[in-house]
Homo-oligomer: A and B are copies of this chain.
Amino acid sequence: MMEEETKNVEQSDLSPLDQLREAWERMPHDERMDAFIRLPRSDAEDLFLNFSPIDQAEIIAQLPSLQKRSWIRLLAPDDAADLMQVLAIELRYEALALLDEQTRREVTALLAYEEDVAGGLMNSRYFRLRPEMSVDEAIRYLRAQARTTSETIYYAYVLDHEQKLLGAISFRELFIAQPQKIVKDVMQTDLVTIPEEMDQEEVSRRFSQHSLHALPVIDKEGQMKGIVTVDDVVDVVKEEATEDMQKLGGVAALDAPYLQTSLPAMIRKRAGWLTILFVGEMFTATAMGFYEKQIEQTLALALFIPLIISSGGNSGSQASTLIIRAIALGEVQLRDWWKILLRELSSGFFLGLILGSIGLLRIIFWPTRDALYGEHYFLIGTAVACSVGGVVLWGAICGSMLPLILSRLGFDPASASAPFVATLVDVTGLVIYFTVASSILHGVLL
Contacts and interface: CB of A to CB of B under 8 A. Distances in A.
Interface of A: 13, 15-18, 21, 49-50, 142-143, 146-147, 152-154, 170-172, 175-176, 190-192, 195, 204, 207-211, 213, 229-231, 233-235, 237-238, 241-242, 244-246, 248-251, 254, 257-259, 263, 266-267, 270-271, 273-275, 277-279, 281-282, 284-285, 288-289, 292, 295-296, 299, 302-307, 309-311, 313-315, 317-318, 320-326, 329, 331-332, 336, 339-340, 343, 346-347, 350-351, 354-355, 358-359, 362, 368, 372, 388, 392, 418-419, 422-423, 426, 430
Given A279-B358, A306-B281, A259 B50 contact: no
Contact of A318 (B207, B244, B251, B358): B251
A175 B288 CA distance: 76
Given A254-B322, A355-B278, A285 B304 contact: yes
A312 to B, nearest CB: 11
Nearest to A149: B172
Which 3 residue pairs are nearest across A and B when measured between Cβ atoms? A249-B321, A241-B241, A284-B306
Contacts of A270: 315, 318, 347, 351
24 contacts: A146-B176, A154-B154, A204-B234, A213-B230, A213-B231, A241-B241, A245-B248, A245-B325, A248-B418, A250-B314, A251-B318, A251-B321, A258-B326, A258-B340, A263-B343, A263-B350, A274-B355, A281-B311, A282-B362, A285-B303, A285-B306, A289-B372, A296-B299, A306-B430
B258 A423 contact: no
Given A296-B299, A418-B249, A358 B275 contact: yes
A394 to B, nearest CB: 14
A259 B231 CA distance: 29
Contact of A282 (B50, B299, B307): B307
A170 to B, nearest CB: 7
B263 A347 contact: yes
Nearest to A15: B192
A241 B329 CA distance: 11
A274 B357 CA distance: 13
B274 A351 contact: yes
A426 B230 contact: no
A249 B248 contact: yes
A205 to B, nearest CB: 10
Given A16-B190, A273-B314, 13 more contacts: A49-B211, A171-B171, A208-B238, A213-B231, A249-B418, A251-B318, A274-B314, A288-B303, A289-B372, A292-B372, A310-B313, A313-B313, A314-B422
A300 to B, nearest CB: 8
Nearest to A400: B258
A65 to B, nearest CB: 28
Contacts of A273: 314, 318
Contacts of A368: 289
Contacts of A251: 318, 321-322
A422 B142 CA distance: 59
A323 B258 contact: yes
A258 B318 contact: no
Contacts of A175: 142-143, 146, 153
A317 B249 contact: yes
A424 to B, nearest CB: 11
A152 B170 CA distance: 8
A245 B241 contact: yes
With a 10 A CB-CB cut-off, give which of A49, A249, A354, A355 has the most chain B CB atoms: A249
A359 B295 CA distance: 22
A278 B277 CA distance: 22
Contacts of A192: 15, 17-18
Contact of A321 (B246, B339, B358): B246
Contacts of A388: 278
A354 to B, nearest CB: 5
Given A230-B234, A249-B320, A343-B266, A303 B331 contact: no
